[in-house]
Amino acid sequence: MKQKYLLLLCLMILTAILFFYFSSKTINSKVRLITRYDNTIKLEQEKLNSAKVLNEQLLEVAKVIENSISDEEQFTTDESNAFILKLANLADKYKIAVHSMVPKVIIGVNRRYAEQLYTMELNCTFLQLGEFLSELESFDHIIKIRTIDVRPLADDKNTIYEEVQETHYRVTLDLSTFKIVKEA
């Protein structure tokens, strides 16, 4: 009788060990499967996020291109004056003194786009210039900055205040705007 109880006890212990072994093996396989799914989801989420960012950037580029497409082969005076007003408002926003702003029409041999050159003379600090240029990049136009010439105001004899001369600079900025001419 004692042997039967001992055999029953051994059988119960063996059953318990087998139960815990197979259940832990099943749980570990499920955890590995969940981890694999989790990694796949993270990877796909990263792809989705980068696709969203790329889509937003492409929408901004599309907006710039749509605003730059025209049937005319030259800039009209209204377009030129509107852009000059935008530049003046931007300079005024950052309290930049504008000494001159001259538009120059460029007649090129390329009939696929029209180009308008603007020459600006500004009196500003480097911080103001950086803010001005960073916001200029966000305009809905195709803009190319051709040259930036920065000189100290000490070279300019018309300036009176010494403290202004030390921190402010005379900046000559040549930039071009383009518009794409539609083909007939």
* Residue of 111, 177, 123, 181 lying closest to 151 (CA atoms): 123
* Residue of 126, 127, 176 lying closest to 147 (CA atoms): 176
- Exposure letters 5-29 (e unless 16+ CB within 10 A, then b): eeeeeeeeeeeeeeeeeeeeeeeee
| pLDDT for residue 106 | 74
- What DSSP assignment string belongs to 32-86? HHHHHHHHHHHHHHHHHHHHHHHHHHHHHHHHHHHHHEES-SS--HHHHHHHHHH
Indicate the SS3 state at residue 99: strand
| pLDDT for residue 162 | 54
Same domain? For 86 and 162 the reply is: yes
Give, in degrees to the nearest 5, the angle at Cα 69 between 67 and 73.
Answer: 130
- Token pair, residue 49, equals 């996020």
| pLDDT for residue 147 | 94
Where among 69, 102, 117 does a domain terminate? 69
Same domain? For 146 and 82 the reply is: yes
Q: Going residue by residue through the chain (184 aa), what tens digit of pLDDT does each one get? A: 788 888 899 999 999 999 999 999 999 999 999 999 999 999 999 999 999 999 999 998 888 888 888 888 788 889 889 999 999 999 999 999 999 998 887 766 667 888 889 999 999 999 999 999 999 988 888 899 999 999 988 665 555 555 556 688 999 999 999 888 887 6
Same domain? For 6 and 45 the reply is: yes
Write the burial class of residue 41 (CB in 10 Å: 0-12 exposed, 13-18 middle, 19+ buried). Answer: exposed
Same domain? For 19 and 51 the reply is: yes
Task: Tell me the CA distances in angstroms from 83 to 26, 93, 143, one per residue in order.
Answer: 69, 15, 11
Domain interval for residue 23: 1-69
Number of domains forming the structure of the chain: 2
- Token pair, residue 106, equals 């460029």
| pLDDT for residue 42 | 97
- What is the reported pTM? 0.65
| pLDDT for residue 182 | 83
| pLDDT for residue 140 | 85
Same domain? For 60 and 101 the reply is: no
CA–CA dist 180, 71 (Å, integer): 8
CA–CA dist 72, 180 (Å, integer): 9
**140 secondary structure, DSSP code:** S
Where among 44, 69, 94 does a domain terminate? 69
